[in-house]
Chain A
Amino acid sequence: MNKKSALLIILILVGTIVLTQSVFTVDQTEEALVLQLGKPVYPDPLGPGLHFKLPLVQDVVYFDSRILDYDAKPEEITTEDKKYMNIDSFAKWRIANPLVFYQKVRTIPGAQARLDDIIRSQLRVSLGRYTLIEVVSRKRPEIMTNVTARTKKQLEPYGIEVIDVRIKRTDLPPENATAIFGRMKAERERQAKQYRSEGQEAMARIKAKADKERSIILAEAEKQAEEQRGQGDAKATAIYAEALGQSPEFYGFMRSLDAYRKSFKDKSRFIFTPESPFLKYFQ
């Protein structure tokens, strides 16, 4: 009984070891190569799922099947117009052919080193053909497409598929940035000055126009007033002339009397001689 169970335990143990040595799973994010004493067993890599191999003689090498990241260090590049700029780029790549990949670069860090060499030089070459502003602005998508295509071609022999090379950041070295800041400042100062003087110009215009209008309004009013007064005066003169013309002599008399009455209202001194008609009956 004891012997039997001990044998069973040993059997189970051995079975488990054999099983774990011969069964392996490949994750959805991976691919695997099975190597029999260094020689690949299948022409194609194994996809995700449960797989079997011979224990001891066969080995499994796993590869990430996902899209991987290569983030380059920012580096200084000279543009066609001899300006310096810091280019920070990244690339997306994946292992297209694990066997070739394993043979040529073996590991992901090894691949990164290859990517670094090739992308860096390609960027340098491509960017050198364009001016700074083209890199920053109009030609950027074009440059990236070109660099992607070229690096893709160059990295194919390594079992690497480059999916995308993208310029993340295009910055200016500090000295150039300072120059740009200076220019920006000057531009804005000019703009500010322009706004202010434009404002003053508009102010002067509006005020002068208002002053002018005021003068015209007042002068026009004076003109109308004079005309009006003249018309009144003329009419009155005509009326007077018509009425008074009927007896100028009597008008003279009446008007004189009126004038006396008005003129000698206040304290006045009258000197009469006895011959005055007023004193005719006085003597």
Chain B
Amino acid sequence: MNWDWEKLQKQRQGNTGGTPPGFDDFNEQFKKLKSFKLPGGKIVLLAVALLWLLSGIYIVEPDEVGVVKRFGAFSRITTSGPHYHIPYPVESVLTPKVTQIRRIEMGFRSMTRNRSVPFRQGQERGVPDESLMLTGDENIVSVQFIVQYLIKDAKDYLFNVKDVEATIKNAASAAMREVIGKSKIDDALTTGKQEIQASTRELMQHILDLYKSGISIVAVQMQNVHPPDQVVDAFKDVASAREDKSRFINEAQAYSNDILPKARGQAARITNAAQAYSEAKIRRSQGEASRFLAVLKEYKKAKDITRRRLYLETMESILSNPDAEKLILSDDALKKSIPYLPLDTVRRGKTADTAKQ
């Protein structure tokens, strides 16, 4: 008995060609039902049959593909547009969104899941259990990242792996920790992010391909990488220490930039002053020399009279000063009065005496 069923099925599969299986069944049934009479039954039956036939129409949206199953088995993939499948219970259709990029948050959850509140950056809650990981240099770092993926093979996605989303999450966790485990904390915190993202993406893709999950990882993006809360202050202090260092250097350079030009200016002033002194001195000497030589030339012509004239002229110009006190004393009187004269006056008198010649 069982074998007959098998044969029948095989035969049917061989025969199908144009009309899909089930149609024959349906026609036979329909004929049977035709002969079955109820008041007004024909119209009702016809309407029901029509509705049943129409239920096979389905539309695949531009971001979807249609995956048609016949008796549960994968049958075909249809692209976007209107299509027809044999109605229930023969064929059924699934329409996964294959162009839509999905997103998984790792290490944090956005607070604004509900649509009514617009997405705002920073409104999120950390999940330390997911985000804390060990680095290759035995430090702990908190990594929050997102994974973007899309369905690259709808058939694999639907039929190969149970709970694909959880699988992606596990793969993300494992991959990121493996990559971070090979990195140094400083790389993870600073310059190595690009590389970590790329390696994680690659590793995740490898894992998911191993499971034939039909998933393509579009991107792994690190959102917020920071030291754990317990040590974050120390890390921040390092950053500010680095700033301090460059501040110190800048300050010193500012000092240097301030004093050196000033010193150069001062140096220029000193050398220029010396040059001025020297040039002036030379010129003065040249002038005085010429003056002397000129006068000397004339003096040589009439020595005595020039000498007398010059002497008298000088004395005149000195003594014509209205402030100058003049005192004429005889030699005797001078000798007697010396004890009474103020000392400085004596000195002056003596000086004056030198003018005698």
Contact = CB atoms under 8 A, between A and B. Distances in A.
Interface string A259-283: 0110111111111111111110010
A270 B241 contact: no
B248 A203 contact: yes
A96 B83 CA distance: 36
Contact of A235 (B37, B69, B282, B317): B282
B299 interface: yes
Interface residues of A, number: 120
Nearest to B33: A12
Nearest to B227: A184
Given A52-B6, A195-B245, A239 B289 contact: yes
A173 interface: no
Contacts of A250: 295-296, 299
B136 A189 contact: no
Contacts, number: 359
B173 interface: yes
23 contacts: A25-B72, A25-B73, A27-B72, A136-B138, A166-B174, A170-B134, A170-B177, A170-B181, A177-B140, A188-B238, A195-B241, A202-B252, A203-B248, A210-B259, A226-B274, A228-B271, A228-B277, A236-B284, A240-B285, A243-B293, A260-B318, A265-B321, A269-B327
Interface of B: 1-2, 5-6, 8-9, 36-37, 69-74, 89, 132-136, 138-140, 158-163, 166-167, 170-171, 173-174, 177-178, 181-182, 185, 207, 210-213, 227-228, 230-231, 234-235, 237-238, 240-242, 244-249, 251-253, 255-256, 259-260, 262-264, 266-268, 270-271, 273-275, 277-282, 284-286, 288-290, 292-293, 295-296, 299-300, 307, 310-312, 314-315, 317-319, 321, 323-331, 334, 345, 348-349, 351-352, 355-357
Interface of A: 5, 8, 22, 25-30, 41, 47-54, 58, 64, 66-69, 71, 90, 92, 132-133, 136-138, 140-141, 163-164, 166-172, 177-178, 180-181, 184-185, 188-189, 191-196, 198-200, 202-207, 209-211, 213-214, 217-218, 220-222, 224-229, 231-233, 235-237, 239-240, 242-244, 246-247, 250-251, 253-254, 257, 260-261, 263-279, 282
